[in-house]
Chain A
Amino acid sequence: MADQFLLLGIGNLLWADEGFGVRCVEQLNQRYTFPENVTLMDGGTQGIYLVQHVQQATCLVVFDAIDYGLEPGTFKLVHNEEVPKFMGAKKMSLHQTGFQEVLAMAELTGSYPNELLLIGVQPEELDDFGGSLRPRVRDQLEPALQHALDYLAARGVEVKPRVEGESALGPEELQLDRYETQRPAEQEAYRYGDPRFIPATALKEES
C-alpha cells in the first residue's frame, strides 16, 4: 500500500502567530492539488480528537508555531523521534499538550507513523486576540510550504498547481483575507490580557 501522508496544521488561528500551522495548510490547499494518499487537515486545537488521523498516517507532517527558544521568525525542522520532545518541551499553548498526548496514544495503540516531520516557526506574538501573523512569521510561510513540497517530491508524491477553485479546508469565514480585513479597530476592542503572562504589552502601560 502506498504511504499515507497527513499534512496537519495545528494551533489556534485566533491568537496571532499561533495560526501559522493552520495558515500553512490553508495555503497549500488553495494553490495545489494532491494525489489521494495525501490528506490536508486544519487540525485547529483539537488535541486528542486528532488521534485517528495520526494513526492512519504513515508519514505525518505537522505545521505549528513552536517555542524553540530562538529568535522570533526562525524557521526550524524537527524529524522523527525528536518531534514529541519538541512539542512538549516548552508548551506555549493548549493544543501542544494535546498533541504530545496524541502521539503517545498512537504509539500505545501500535499505529504510529513511520516518519514524522515538524515544520515550525518561532512565534513573535501570541497574545493578540483576534490578530493575525506577524510579518516575520508570515515571511516563513513560503519556506514552510516549499519544504513540505520538497519533502513530498523526495518521496515520489506528485503535486500539481491547482487550476480550478478549491474547496476550503476551514470555514470561509476564517480565511486569511476575510479574517484580517474585518477585524475591528483596537480602540473598539481591547486586545490584551493577563499582565502576569503578557509583560511585553500590558505591563508597559503600568510602569
Chain B
Amino acid sequence: MSSILNASQLDASGRRVVVDPVTRIEGHMRCEVNVDDQNIIRNAVSTGTMWRGLEVILKGRDPRDAWAFVERICGVCTGTHALTSVRAVEDALDIDIPYNAHLIRHLMDKTLQVHDHIVHFYHLHALDWVNPVNALRADPRKTSELQKMVSPSNPKSSPGYFSDLQNRLKKFVSGGQLGIFANGYWDNPAYKLSPEADLMAVAHYLEALDMQKDIVKIHTIFGGKNPHPNYLVGGVACAINLNDTGSAGAPVNMNSLNFVLQRIKEAQAFVEQVYLPDVLAIASSYKDWLYGGGLASENLLSFGTYTQTPGDKSTDLLPAGAIVNGNWDEVLPVDVRDPEQIQEFVSHSWYSYADETQGLHPWDGVTEPNFELGANTRGTRTNIEQIDESHKYSWIKAPRWRGHAMEVGPLARYIIAYASGREYVQEQVNRSLSAFNQNTGLNVGLKPFLASTLGRTLARALECQYCADTMEDDWHALVNNIKNGDTATANTEKWEPSTWPKEAKGVGINEAPRGALGHWIKIKDGKIDSYQAVVPTTWNASPRDNEGNIGAYEAALLNTPMERPDEPVEILRTLHSFDPCLACSTHVMSPEGQEITQVKIR
C-alpha cells in the first residue's frame, strides 16, 4: 500500500462525513472525512475543538507546585503529568533524586501504564470490536469451550459463569437502560465476532473493572492518596521503614511492600490469562481488517522510558529514538533540547506566531489564540457544518520532529524497541505474529501486521505485559536497596528557592500511556516564567503543517472502507486505537456538550 502523507495527495471530492465528538468518554475532538463512491476514506481532517490553557494557569506559580496543577489537567493520566512536571523542575535546578525514589517512580508509572492500558482496552476501545447486544444470543456452554481454547489457564470458564453473566446482561438491557452500551451501532456488519466471543468479552469487561481497582492501590501506598497521588520535586513523598520501631506508621514497610508484590502478580496473571488472549482472539476474528496504519509504517517517535541506570538513557527498557520515511532499519537519536528537532507549527492551528512559516521549540513556545475560519467553511463561527482544512482548523498545534509528522504511543515505542534490538520486545512481537498467522492461516508480514489499528491495540497489550513483568524486578531492586541500608526517598538540598539560580530552564520527559510527553519549563526569580507541554495527543491528533504533512490520526484513516458511512464504526475504531485524550491537549467543551456522537453526511 503506497503511503499518503501529504495533503496535496488527498482527494476531498467525495461525500463528506462529519463525526463530532469522537471520544466516548474523555476529551473533545471532531473528525471529518471524504469517502469516494466505494465508501473508502480518501481525505481526513482531525480537529481539536477545545482550547488549551495549561501554560497560562502555571505562569507565575511556584515551580514546586506545578505537578499538582498538571495532575488536574487530565482526568485519566494524572500521574504521568505530575511525574513529567517534577522531572522538568529537577532538570532545571540540577537535582538528582535518590535511587529509591527512582525505583518508586518506576513502580508508580508502570502501575499507571498497566491500569490505563487495561481500562482503555476493555472500557474505552473493546466496544469498537465487541457487540454486547449480540452476546445475548450466545450459548453459554459454547462460550465456555471457547474460553478454554483461547486461554486454558483462565479459571473463570464454566458454562454457569457465562450463563449467570448473560442473565445479568439481559436484565440490564431489558430494563430499558442500555447505559454504557447505548449509542452503539449494534446491527452494523462491521461487527464480526460470534455471539460466544462477544459474551466472553463482556465477561472480561466486568473482570477488568474488578482488576483495575486493586492495581491502583499501589498509588495509594507510594503516593499517599487515591485518586490523586502526591509527587515531590527531589524524590517521592513517602517514608520508608522496614524493620525499626515505628515501621507500622511508615507508608512503605514490609507489609505494604508485600501487598504491592501481590498486586503486581495479579496484574501479571490478568494480562497473561485474559487481556493478551482476548486481543489475539479479536485480531484473528478481524483478520482482514489490517487498516489504520497511517504514519506507523513511516514516522515514529519515542522519548524512551524506564531507565535502568539512573542518568544513562542508553539503558532505557523502551529506548528513545525516531524512525522516518518508513526505514524501520534505522533508529535516529532524539534530543528534546535541540531547537532544530522538536518544533511546533501553527499555520493550520488557531494560534498566531509572528512568522508562521517557522516552527518554535517548546522553550521558545508562544500560545497566542487566533480563531479564524477559512473562506470555504460551511456554517457559522459558532456552528461549523464543514471545516475548511486549507486554513486554520484546530486548537491543537502541529508538533514536528525535524519537520516530520510523527506517530507516538505504545506502537511507536514497540516498533522502535523492536528496531533497536530489544530482545524481550522482539520475542513478544514475533510470538504474537506467529499466533495470528497460525490462527488465521494467513502469512502476514511484520510491517503490515504491526502498522495497523490492530497492531496499535496489540502493542498496548504487550507493553502492559512488559510493565507488569518488570515491576517485579523494580520491586526486588527496591527491597534490596532498602535492606542494604539506603532509606533515602528525597533530596531536599535545593528545596528552598534561595538556593536556585536567578534564571533556569529544564525539560521533563516521559513516555505516557498515550506516547511521548514533554514539559519544558523556564524559571525566573523563583517563579514559573513559561511552561509548555507537548502531549502525546498533540502529536497524534495534529493538524497539517505549512508543508502539508498530515498528522497520525488523519493518515491512519485513509484508505479505510466504511460499511455504512453514517455509522462511523471504522473511524472510531482507528481513532480509539490511539487512546485519544483531548482533555490535556486542548480544553473545555461546549456548554451544550453533545452527549451522543453526531454524524452528518453532506
**Chain B contact residues: helix, strand, loop or mixed:** loop
**Which range holds the interface residue count of chain B?**
35 or more
Chain A residues with CB below 8 A from B212, complex form: 49, 52
The reply to whether B369 and A193 form a contact with Cβ atoms under 8 Å apart is: yes
Chain A residues with CB below 8 A from B172, complex form: 107-108
Interface centre among B62, B74, B76 (most CB of A within 10 A): B76
The reply to whether B227 and A50 form a contact with Cβ atoms under 8 Å apart is: yes
CA distance A105 to B180 in the complex (A): 7
- B 581-602 binary contact with A (CB < 8 Å = 1; else 0): 0010001111111010000000
Residue from the list A44, A108, A170 in contact with B75, Cβ < 8 A: A44
Closest to A169 in B: B225
In chain A, positions 148-207 with a C-beta closer than 8 Å to chain B are: 169-171, 173-174, 178, 182-185, 188-197, 199
Asked if A91 lies at the interface with its beta carbon under 8 angstroms from chain B, I say: yes
Closest to A52 in B: B213
Asked if A72 lies at the interface with its beta carbon under 8 angstroms from chain B, I say: no
Q: How many A-B residue pairs have CB under 8 A?
A: 172
Chain B residues with CB below 8 A from A78, complex form: none
The reply to whether B62 and A182 form a contact with Cβ atoms under 8 Å apart is: yes
CA distance A44 to B64 in the complex (A): 21
Chain B residues with CB below 8 A from A126, complex form: 588, 591
Closest to A131 in B: B57
Chain B residues with CB below 8 A from A178, complex form: 65
The reply to whether B177 and A48 form a contact with Cβ atoms under 8 Å apart is: no
Surface stretch bound by A, among B46-54, B404-412, B510-518:
B46-54
Asked if B250 lies at the interface with its beta carbon under 8 angstroms from chain A, I say: no
In chain A, positions 89-122 with a C-beta closer than 8 Å to chain B are: 90-98, 101, 104-105, 107-110
Asked if A145 lies at the interface with its beta carbon under 8 angstroms from chain B, I say: no
Chain A count of residues within 8 A CB distance of the other chain: 60
**Chain A contact residues: helix, strand, loop or mixed:** loop
Asked if B15 lies at the interface with its beta carbon under 8 angstroms from chain A, I say: no
Chain A residues with CB below 8 A from B162, complex form: none
Chain A residues with CB below 8 A from B71, complex form: 171
Chain B residues with CB below 8 A from A101, complex form: 25, 180
Surface stretch bound by B, among A7-15, A30-38, A136-144:
A7-15
Asked if B248 lies at the interface with its beta carbon under 8 angstroms from chain A, I say: no
CA distance A188 to B524 in the complex (A): 14
| A/B interface sample: 26 pairs, CB < 8 A | A43-B227, A44-B227, A46-B75, A49-B75, A49-B216, A49-B227, A50-B227, A67-B591, A96-B593, A97-B595, A108-B168, A129-B57, A129-B587, A130-B56, A170-B225, A182-B60, A182-B65, A183-B60, A184-B59, A185-B60, A189-B59, A189-B60, A191-B56, A196-B382, A197-B589, A197-B590
8 closest residue pairs by CB, A with B: A184-B60, A104-B179, A52-B213, A45-B75, A193-B51, A91-B593, A129-B53, A173-B68
Contacts A94-B27, A193-B369 aside, 9 further interface pairs with beta carbons under 8 A come to A44-B72, A45-B75, A47-B25, A98-B25, A108-B180, A108-B206, A126-B588, A173-B68, A184-B59
